Each structure stands twice: as C-alpha cells, then as structure tokens.
Structure 1
Amino acid sequence: MNGKMKAIVKHHRDKGARLEMVDIPQINENEVLIKVKATSICGTDVHIYAWDEWSASRVNPPYVFGHEFAGEVVEIGEDVTNVKIGDSVSAETHIVCGECPQCLTGNAHICRNTKIIGVDIDGCFAEYVALPAKNLWKNDAEMPMSVGSVQEPMGNAVHTVLAGDVAGKTVSIIGCGPIGLMAVGVAKAAGASQVIAYDLNEYRLELAKEMGATTIVNSKEQDPVQVAMELTDGNGVEVVCEMSGHPVAIDQGFKMLTNGGRMSILSLPVKPVQVDITNDIVFKGITVQGITGRKMYETWRQVAGLLESGQVDVKKMITHEFSLEDFEKGFDLMLEGKCGKVVLKP
C-alpha cells in the first residue's frame, strides 16, 4: 500500500511530540500491514513524551512512537500463513532474534537482541503499522478494539503477578498506574487472599478498589509498611509487585515483605536505587525478580483466558478515549495522573 498516513512523531530531543503526515510503511514477505483501530498510551510512551533521562539515553528521534494497539490486517507478505486479511490482531511488541541463547531456551522475552516497536523502531501511534507476522496475536472478532489495545500491558501485569504462586497469599501492588491497576485485577482473579494497593493518587486508588483491591492505601497519609504489618498480624505480605519505580516505595516494598517472600519488579527507576541487601534480601531469604515484557506466548494465552472468562474486566480502567489528533490531551492526563488507561483512535 502506498500513500501517506497520520502519525504521532517524536520529532526532537525534548518534551512533546507532533502529528505529522508520513509514508505508510511498506512490508516484506514475512510482514503484515495493520490498520490501527485503537492504540493506548503506556508509561514508556509518557517517558518518551516527557523526555526524561531514560528516554534521552535510549531513543533516537525523529520516529513514530507507541507500541500498544489493536487493528485489522489489510495486507500480508507472500510468505505469511498465520493471519489473513480482515483478521483482528494485537501484537507482541518485542521483536526478537530467535538465535541467541535466551531465544533458543524458551526465554525469548529476554532476548539479548530485542528491538521494541515504538522505542527502537517505528511504532503504532499512526493509522497503519507494519510488523513481522510471527509477532501477531489474533483477537476474537467480538473483542472491542479498545480492550484489544491493552492486552500488551496487561501481559506485563500478568507476567509480574503470576511469576510465582499467589493463590491464597497476601499481595501488595505498589503503584496504581494502568499496569498496576490490571495487576490488582489479575491478583484477585488468581485467588490472592488479600490485594493491598498503594499509591499517592486518590483517583487511581479508587480505580484500584473497582479492580478488586481489598485494601487501598494512600502512602502520603498512612505508613505503607505499618499497614501491611497490621493486615498480616505482623508477618508481612507474601508477594510484592513493584510498579512505581520510586526509590522510597521500592524500599518500603522490601520492608513489608515477609521472610521467604517474593518481590517482582516491573518498574523502571530512572536512577540507581539503594537497597539494604543484607537485612531486606539475604537475612529474609526472599526472591527478587526482574520482570520484562511477556513470556512468548504463554503470557498472551493467560491474558486471553482471563479476558474471555470475564475474571478481569479491563474496561473499568479504560477511562478516556481521544482521536489521534487530540493525543496531547491524553498525555496531559497521564502526566497529571487523572486517568486510568487512555486510548487513542486513529
């Protein structure tokens, strides 16, 4: 397909972005062209839009950013057999090499040569996006496009929560941004006995309650560690899912964790974080996990199952939808924290 399309371009090495007309991407024999029907704003996109230290060290403008979407296949390469024109799809956004030791041992989500759409290569804040066919995930035709667009970040929540057993356990979710909110729903669906949600933002704490949190804690008004201890008879929680990236919150997560517990960290602190390894890790005998991406494609199957069963209702945390042209409104809401998930419609 030839021609031009509207796209949100990170056009310079500073805060902001702009809507431009760019070339519709061309596909090769193993790729697919998708007409984007819904694309959602991720915390990573906010980092890039705001131009913090992490994004300044990672991305190279100008390019089209964005990496969460759902859309319709409109063109396929001659060697593509797993999807057809008209299919509703989302996509695994990590493009991996398939040849490194990690890929060859079932750990492609930590491929040493990963390229991420919307970070390392052009993304989906556009009318069309081109991707390798092997990265596509076929959606149920009845799935709303806005729901389809949040499966990729929901995969992060699922991977974080289900990186170990949570059934019957006490779980703390620290940070109630969109992925944290979905993590609340996943932990509840997976049978956690308590799901304690922490944030500084009352708007998002109320969303956490809607997603299934048994207790919500405003960390400005209450001592997070003290609350965790009170709710667990002084034992501490068994699982902490760290989504905030704030050094103080990370330290509190280690402090509230019981001996032998699990700390799964998805957040991306922009600077090194000081941790008391002796007292909070070694003497406690805890497990600390770094979580990146989604397991290919185990996590995607778990996401689809949770959505299909209705055990996790992500529509509760999709709070705003805008046209692609109004993207700045969406980013402003994300920066202010006055939203759940924001979806853009090209």
Structure 2
Amino acid sequence: MMSGKMKALIKAAGEPGAVCDLVPIPEIGQREVLIKVKAASICGTDVHIYNWDEWAKNRVKPPYVFGHEFSGEVAAVGENVSSVKEGDFVSAETHFVCGKCIPCLTGKQHVCSNTMILGVDTEGCFAEYVKVPESNIWKNPPGMPEDLASIQEPLGNAVHTVLSGIAAGSKTAIVGCGPIGLMAVAVAKTAGASQVIAIDKNEYRLELAVKMGATATISIEKEDTLKNVSALTNGEGADLVCEMSGHPTAICQSLKMAANGGRVHILSLPEHPVCIDMTNDIVFKGLTVQGITGRKMFETWRQVSDLLHSGAIQIKPVITHHFSLEEYEKGFELMREGQCGKVILIP
C-alpha cells in the first residue's frame, strides 16, 4: 500500500475559503480502491462549502479534503477487490449507499435512506489521491478525455433530470443555466426535444446555452419569462420544465410555465422553504412534479458513458477553464461570479 504525503485542497476551518496543503495519502481497506486523480471539477456544492454558507455550516465538519467529481487511474486496490485493477481509468459514483434500507433493497439506491457523499461527508477528491469503495467505481472507456470523464457525475444529474420524463418531441424549458443546467440543455437537445428554452439572468451562460443546443434563450432581467415561454410554445406552455436554479421565484414560475398535464423536474436545492400555489399551479393543471436526486445506480452512469463515448452528445463547450490545484482560488472566483461553465482542477 502507498504511504506518504499528497497535495490536497482542505476546508480547514468554519470560515470562507480553503487551503492547499500536504496531508497523508489515504489508507484503503479490504474493499476500497485508491485512485490517482487526473482531473477534478468544481461543483456548486463545493462553492457552498468554499463560501461557508448556511447549508455548509449545518452539513460539513472541517478540517477535511472536499471535492467529489473526478477521473483518475487506479493506484492500489484492497485485498478483496476483484472488479478493478491497478492502471484502470475510472470515475466514481459519489453517493455511498448502505445497501440495506428499503430503497436500496428495491432498486432505488439513489434515494438510499443512509446516503453519505464523497467530499461532503467523507474525504474528497481535490487531492492527488482519493479512496472510494469498490462498489462505487465506474470504469471509463479507453481514450475518454480526462476532463470529460471527470464531469460524468454532474452530467448524470442532467441526464437523470431530463430523461425521467418526456423529452423526444417535447417543448422543454431549462430554468437556471449553471453547469448542470447547461448540460441539461445538451441532453434535451440530444434526446430530441423540439424546443429547448434556456432561462437565466447571466448573459455569459445564456451564450453558452446556445453553444450547447438551446433553440431560444430568455434573460430574466430583460424579458418577461412567462410571456416569452407562452409565445414560444403557442400559448401551451412547456411540456417539460427542468428547474435547476433553486430561486423561489424561478420555482414558482416553473410551475406556471408548464403546460397543462406537463412535467416539472426539480434538481435544485432551495436554501429555504418555498411557498407555491399548489391548487392553481399543480392540481388544476394536472402537473407531475418530480424531485431529482443523484443518479440511478448504475443505469444513469451507463447512459452518460455511452452518450459521451459514442459522440451522440456534444458536451465539451461546457468545460471552459482548467487550473492547477494550487490555482484553486481562480476557479472558485469564476464559479462565484458565474463567468464560467465547468472549471477543472488538475492536481
């Protein structure tokens, strides 16, 4: 087994920011895998932790290494590991599930009652090495670019959100064009949506949405969102609305812009309870509202890997910046400003 020190990005204390320092290389157990990280991408969750907002204060326990989206090469395996070997190119499902609760036993591991998350509840991947249970490893196809392989986890969120309901031929609205929202634009387009309407206030990201396949964009600070969606859909509303912003107003508008009998899929995580008009905006419209969390294990991973490896989906434009791990402050500042797509850190 490996020993020694490694570079890592540490959430050192209960305050904004992080520190790049040396920490011990993780020791692995009998059913664990040690991975040399080749690329790690910054997620919105990481920004919450970096900013030390209310969610982070109530969830994470510094000091620890954070980060959860990555690709890398297997460096060592536990003595009871049989499905991967040293040298394999891998990524990982970041939700560690118990395998014993009713959701796990009935094929719904993505809503495991006892989920722990890599880099949130455990030591993460903003480091030279990360350890992961064998059961969470996903083997990547040979030749997949390391940066693309590192964003399969968030792309899985987008795939799960869009493909859990109607997509082919549908009028689809993506509300919130952060990195996962931008990926959802590409997924909807690839899945055959007749329209993909991207909605945000950030002009930089609306321009990226067009590169990802949006057929129309709406700037909420310059245009009337509901009137524009109505006009674009011949007054019918969107058949599928994917809510990715977490803003209370956007959530309420998502319900209102949906077509009668349509679907609203909510991936976002509002910081506070949201007041909605359930009677008029859900019940009388006959909407199906579905909460989306994580990825189906491992159905979504297979979809993501095959979409990328086949070239069926063009996701590269969402990756806008690469930095060394030591340049993490540049990456997090771009994320906080919203002047980027996906930011990749290279340990």
1:128, CA displacement in angstroms? 0.1
> Which position in structure 1 is the counterpart of 2:266?
265
> Which position in structure 2 is the counterpart of 1:236?
237
CA contact (8 A) 2:34 2:74 kept: yes
> Which position in structure 1 is the counterpart of 2:33?
32
Q: Does 1:174 align with 2:175?
A: yes
1:306, CA displacement in angstroms? 1.1
> Which position in structure 2 is the counterpart of 1:278?
279
Which residue type is aligned with residue 281 of structure 1?
Answer: I
Aligned mates of 1:146, 1:335 — CA distance in 2: 21
- SS for the counterpart of 1:342 is strand
Aligned CA RMSD, in angstroms, stands at 0.6
> Which position in structure 2 is the counterpart of 1:341?
342
Aligned mates of 1:52, 1:311 — CA distance in 2: 38
- SS for the counterpart of 2:345 is strand
CA contact (8 A) 2:144 2:309 kept: no
1:192, CA displacement in angstroms? 0.3
> Which position in structure 2 is the counterpart of 1:112?
113
Aligned mates of 1:275, 1:154 — CA distance in 2: 29
1:110, CA displacement in angstroms? 0.4
Provide, for residues 223-256 of structure 1, a one-character-per-residue CA deviation record: whole Å limited to 9, x for no partner: 1111110011111111000000011111111110
Q: TM-score, normalised by structure 2?
A: 0.99
> Which position in structure 2 is the counterpart of 1:198?
199
Provide, for residues 53-104 of structure 1, a one-character-per-residue CA deviation record: whole Å limited to 9, x for no partner: 1111111111100000000001001111111110000000000000000000
Unaligned runs of 5+ in 2: none
Aligned mates of 2:34, 2:123 — CA distance in 1: 13
Provide, for residues 160-209 of structure 1, a one-character-per-residue CA deviation record: whole Å limited to 9, x for no partner: 00011211000000011100000000000000000000011111001100
Could you list the structure 1 runs, at least 4 aligned residues long, displaced by more than 4 angstroms after superposition: none
> Which position in structure 2 is the counterpart of 1:147?
148
Aligned mates of 2:223, 2:236 — CA distance in 1: 18
Aligned mates of 1:305, 1:28 — CA distance in 2: 31
Aligned mates of 2:145, 2:278 — CA distance in 1: 45
- SS for the counterpart of 2:185 is helix
> Which position in structure 2 is the counterpart of 1:2?
3
1:52, CA displacement in angstroms? 1.1
Q: Does 1:312 align with 2:308?
A: no
1:36, CA displacement in angstroms? 0.2
Aligned mates of 1:123, 1:237 — CA distance in 2: 38
Unaligned runs of 5+ in 1: none
Aligned mates of 1:170, 1:201 — CA distance in 2: 22
Which residue type is aligned with residue 63 of structure 2?
Answer: P
- SS for the counterpart of 1:225 is helix
How many residues are matched? 346
Which residue type is aligned with residue 101 of structure 2?
Answer: C
Aligned mates of 2:284, 2:59 — CA distance in 1: 36
- SS for the counterpart of 2:289 is strand
Aligned mates of 1:217, 1:118 — CA distance in 2: 34
> Which position in structure 2 is the counterpart of 1:208?
209
Which residue type is aligned with residue 58 of structure 1?
Answer: R
Provide, for residues 123-172 of structure 1, a one-character-per-residue CA deviation record: whole Å limited to 9, x for no partner: 00000000101101001120111000000000000000001121100000
Aligned mates of 2:314, 2:126 — CA distance in 1: 24
Which residue type is aligned with residue 22 of structure 1?
Answer: V
Aligned mates of 2:230, 2:314 — CA distance in 1: 30
- SS for the counterpart of 2:99 is coil
Q: Does 1:51 align with 2:52?
A: yes
Aligned mates of 1:261, 1:75 — CA distance in 2: 48
Q: TM-score, normalised by structure 1?
A: 0.99
Q: Does 1:298 align with 2:337?
A: no
1:309, CA displacement in angstroms? 2.1
> Which position in structure 2 is the counterpart of 1:103?
104
Aligned mates of 1:284, 1:146 — CA distance in 2: 42
Aligned mates of 1:126, 1:201 — CA distance in 2: 31
Q: Does 1:287 align with 2:280?
A: no
Aligned mates of 1:168, 1:314 — CA distance in 2: 21
Which residue type is aligned with residue 231 of structure 1?
Answer: L
Aligned mates of 1:57, 1:261 — CA distance in 2: 35
Aligned mates of 2:51, 2:296 — CA distance in 1: 29
1:220, CA displacement in angstroms? 0.6
> Which position in structure 2 is the counterpart of 1:245?
246
> Which position in structure 1 is the counterpart of 2:333?
332
Provide, for residues 292-337 of structure 1, a one-character-per-residue CA deviation record: whole Å limited to 9, x for no partner: 0000000001101111221222211100000000001000000000
CA contact (8 A) 2:166 2:239 kept: no
- SS for the counterpart of 1:288 is strand
> Which position in structure 2 is the counterpart of 1:16?
17
> Which position in structure 2 is the counterpart of 1:41?
42
- SS for the counterpart of 2:83 is coil
Which residue type is aligned with residue 338 of structure 2?
Answer: G
